[in-house]
Structure 1
Amino acid sequence: MKKYVLVIDEGTTGTRSLIFDHDFNIVGQSYQEFTQYTPEENMVEHDAEEIYEKSLENCHKAMAEAEISAEDIDSIGITNQRATCVLWDKNTGKTLDKAIVWQDSRTAKECEELKNSEWGEKARQKTGWEVAPVYSSMMVKWLLENKPEIKAEVEKGDILLGTMDTWLIWKLTGGKKHAVSYSNASVMGSLNLETGEWYQEFLDHLGVPVSIYPEIINDSGDFGETDPEIFGTAVPIRGSIADQHAALFAQECRTAGTAKITNGTGSFVDINIGNQLVIPGAGLNTVIAWKLGDTTTYAVEGYAGTTGSAIQWLKEGMGIISDAAETEAMAESVDDSNGVYFVPALTGLNAPFWDSFARGTIIGITRGTKREHIVRATLEAIAFRIKDICDVVENKANIEMKKVRIDGGVSKNNFLAQRIADILNAQVGRPGSIEATSLGAAQMAGLYTGFWEEEDLDKAVEIERTFMPDLSPEQRKKEYFIWKRAVDRAAKWLDFNLDDI
């Protein structure tokens, strides 16, 4: 009987389910967006219950489209938005509050205080990350300090913590498995990379009990079986990997020195650095790319949190476009941005600046500015933010990126792909399927069960188009110089206290 791998790809703005056959073809899929909650300017939240329900609906729809049943599924792989944390009651299965999303910056001031204390460098050396609001541990600290009812529930000992993969696994297994993959654990600001265990000394300092944290399991590993009532029969969950790490794996960046750029809600640059733990600093993060068997692979990463979501803002916030697909033609309809630069720091600036107080800035507007110029400036900003990160990679990690792979929904945009090649002065390869995160999760599950062998993975990705740089060194230098001036003006915008006036 022909078998398939089912993937749940839970992103920041929507959740998707896909069915892969043995030849890595997608034979069924379903996607739904979910609600974005922004109770305050610096807060971004999700409803974990809504995400689970829509993920489940997608699974059934994808299976129906593929015309298969649960008996035809070899295994399930999960990939997910990282660091977003949720707390729930292990007895009732109900969440205590909305999940705090990785884009949330409510803990910015507390993070700055920690960074300026002895814990700033100490935590960075152990976790591989600059202390920042993306730390799940800081999110939990905020909940315990600002929600007395949550603190009381946690003290009773019945509360569990997890990222979205943990939550989905717990729900799918009927509460039998409370686990997180190594890749996801490494971006929570809670893991000691040197020991591979939860960083209890730091958590004790924050007042966050380590007892609420999940078991850590290999990314290709045993995450239990689904409750038989969900699909009609129990289906093994054998892979769980954070989204950027999944894309790195699927894009065949499985050896040291290979790199990929994922352009989705944000833009993530990930470089495989092999099996030796290195903490380069300079605004870069070190993560566990994945753990297979007894081997841990590490990666250096820099990310810009608001790039693709800036396009979404053009549609939903500004009403400049009605569909993201319009942006390619609009950008190409003008010769340049007419001097307009857009720094998309809508929730602050991530790597390499780590400035939670920066805010979005559109500068260079004149009476000649049209919406096409703003759209073009938005796409160019994605390329500039990627260069911000890659420059640090080249200067501090001594890795020159002449060839990169791109994936993610925004990478469909040919104008953007070409601008990335131009601004990086690098050859950019785009696979025929940009669903690299889903493919990576499928591969993790299939490798564990033997559905695929490692040699099978080499034929999983075909490059659909290659973009070569076509910008003079002088023009590249000029454009990037002006970009950095724009960033300087967006920096530290909210770093003041009106009481001091």
Structure 2
Amino acid sequence: MKKYILVIDEGTTGTRALIYDKSFEIISQCYMEFTQYTPAEDKVEHDAMEIYEKTINVCKQAIEGAGIDSKEIASIGITNQRATCVVWNKITGQPLYNAIVWQDVRTSEDCQKINESEWGEKARKRTGWTVSPVYTSMMMKWYIENVPSIKRAIEKGDALMGTIDTWLIWNMTGRHTHAISYSNASVTGSYDLVNNEWYKEFLDYLGVPVSIYPTVVNDSGDYGKTYASLFGSPIPINGAIADQHAALFAQDCRDKGSGKITNGTGSFLDINIGNKLVISNEGLNTVIAWKIGDEITYALEGYESVTGSAVQWLRDGLGVIEQASETEAIAESVENSNGVIFVPALAGLSAPFHDSSARGTIFGITRGTTTAHIIRATLEGVVYRLKDILNAVETESKVKMTQLRIDGGLSKNNFVAQRMADMLDVEVQRPLSVEATGLGAAQMAGLYCGFWTMEDLKNAMEADKIFTSEMSDEQREERYRIWTDRVRRCLNAINRN
């Protein structure tokens, strides 16, 4: 009797393996960070081989920690950081360069040129995304133009590319399956949502051959099996879903109009818009939420790449905290930010501005400013950015959201959760477990292999706490008016210097 689902939750800063039982309980987990390479201010890279090796390591440790045999695992589900691009040699199995991470902005100038041409709007209406550095297709263009070994391997027919799910699956199946899930394909800036295929015309324009792209497979589908000696016996891989989409699914946002915010390294607001494709005109992204069976579900998404990582910057950059968890108590230790406003544009500003030239700015510093004020302003700045995104979602959908579910590490912070309820003017529901991405991947795998039914998934996530607004409309509007002015001053910063 198969009793468990193994999940690989491969994030931006580390890899986690989780083992779920039939009751959706995590019986064992293991986590390892991996190296962040920043060779320049505009570059963020990962070592794909390090990610794979640590992924297998955490899986083995989680299995051992659970005290189970690999034969008891019904299936593997994978969820991953999106759009990060890997190119490797299919003969040697070695990456041909570091993976370019979704936070990387090295292609900003090229993106701007494309957006100013006829291709900007043309590509947006097909891919659902404003052409930006997060486009995997733009990363591929950079690889081909700047890494001779990649260009040569492509010309010889020896190169393959993919996102992190593709890379892991290819290796785990003994180099047999070169595939990507629909959810991950839809966030590469390479997928034609209208015609439901790789956007060959745009890739041809960029000089990127579609032949190196993986096969697109259902998020709940057949990705082959792990090779026998990897874990002791072959295990089917039946789920692969992008992290934000996994969280949307796990948070029971499976009906049109329901939504969630995942607060991790970045923050992502996703709203299920059902089975009809809608391309946003409000600076949002349209994505495939998931494909199960013959049915595609779409979502509107707004994201900010620097939210949780702004707290990480407080720790690693400024050195004013030792652990992210300290920020809640420190923020609560002062009545307000003493006029300090921090726009956390440490990697530009994402939706709805999409300005990679914006720069992080702290306003209102006086001799009375303390570390606590800056920390509080950082957390408040994260919430203000979420309001920017929610406003765009409500304008696009013509629906006033009254409730949102939250997950991700930063959602554990009560100060952040309460300020979200205050500034977004919604009821904020936080589940007992904020590991929604892992659960979504487990559910995709479990559905395909018959471990669970859709009926089983109802109420899989139990609520921990509900936050409601404690702020007046007048106070909210005034604070947001000031914030909007400060954001305006941060835009187009590079060109103004």
Task: Give the TM-score taking structure 1 as reference length.
Answer: 0.98
- Tell me the equivalent position of 2:8: 8
1:82-481 to 2 correspondences below 5 Å: 82-481=82-481
Give a deviation string over 1:42-91, Cα, whole Å, max 9, x none.
00001111111111111011111111111010000000000000000001
Runs of 4+ in 1 over 4 A off after TM superposition: none
Amino acid at match of 2:376: R
Give structure 1 stretches of 5+ with no counterpart.
none
CA distance in 1, matches of 2:103, 2:411: 21
Give a deviation string over 1:450-489, Cα, whole Å, max 9, x none.
1000000003111110000000111111111111121112
CA distance in 1, matches of 2:486, 2:466: 30
- Tell me the equivalent position of 2:42: 42
Give a deviation string over 1:389-436, Cα, whole Å, max 9, x none.
010111122121110000001100000000000000110000000000
Tell me the secondary structure at the aligned position of residue 358 of structure 2.
coil
Tell me the secondary structure at the aligned position of residue 12 of structure 1.
coil
Closer, same or farther in 2 for the Cα pair 1:496/1:336, shift >3 Å? closer
- Tell me the equivalent position of 2:67: 67
Tell me the secondary structure at the aligned position of residue 208 of structure 2.
coil
Tell me the secondary structure at the aligned position of residue 494 of structure 1.
helix
CA shift for structure 1 position 2 = 5.1
Give a deviation string over 1:352-383, Cα, whole Å, max 9, x none.
00001011111111100100011101111111
Amino acid at match of 2:388: D
Tell me the secondary structure at the aligned position of residue 188 of structure 2.
coil
CA distance in 2, matches of 1:470, 1:13: 34
Tell me the secondary structure at the aligned position of residue 114 of structure 1.
helix
Tell me the secondary structure at the aligned position of residue 318 of structure 2.
coil
Q: Is the 8 A contact 1:181 1:218 kept in 2?
A: yes
RMSD across aligned positions (CA):
0.8
Amino acid at match of 2:31: Y
Give a deviation string over 1:312-340, Cα, whole Å, max 9, x none.
00000110100000000000000001111
CA distance in 2, matches of 1:292, 1:308: 31
Give a deviation string over 1:210-262, Cα, whole Å, max 9, x none.
00000000000000100111101100000000000000000000010000000
CA distance in 2, matches of 1:107, 1:453: 43
CA distance in 2, matches of 1:167, 1:383: 34
Q: Is the 8 A contact 1:88 1:94 kept in 2?
A: yes
Q: Is the 8 A contact 2:183 2:291 kept in 1?
A: yes
State yes or no: 1:24 paired with 2:24.
yes
CA distance in 2, matches of 1:86, 1:315: 29
Give a deviation string over 1:273-298, Cα, whole Å, max 9, x none.
00000012211000000000000000
Q: Is the 8 A contact 1:280 1:397 kept in 2?
A: no
CA distance in 2, matches of 1:17, 1:486: 41
Q: Is the 8 A contact 2:2 2:74 kept in 1?
A: no
CA distance in 2, matches of 1:459, 1:65: 27
Deviates more, 1:156-165 or 1:60-69: 60-69
CA shift for structure 1 position 148 = 2.0
Tell me the secondary structure at the aligned position of residue 404 of structure 1.
strand
CA distance in 2, matches of 1:149, 1:215: 24
Tell me the secondary structure at the aligned position of residue 392 of structure 1.
helix
Q: Is the 8 A contact 2:87 2:95 kept in 1?
A: yes
Q: Is the 8 A contact 2:303 2:351 kept in 1?
A: yes
Task: Give the TM-score taking structure 2 as reference length.
Answer: 0.99
Tell me the secondary structure at the aligned position of residue 464 of structure 1.
strand
Identity between Structure 1 and Structure 2 (%): 63
Amino acid at match of 2:400: E
Q: Is the 8 A contact 1:220 1:444 kept in 2?
A: yes
Q: Is the 8 A contact 2:150 2:159 kept in 1?
A: no
Give a deviation string over 1:171-198, Cα, whole Å, max 9, x none.
1001000000000000000000012110
CA distance in 2, matches of 1:331, 1:370: 11
CA shift for structure 1 position 114 = 0.5
Amino acid at match of 2:485: R
Give a deviation string over 1:75-123, Cα, whole Å, max 9, x none.
0000000000000000110000000000000000110110111101100
Aligned residues: 497
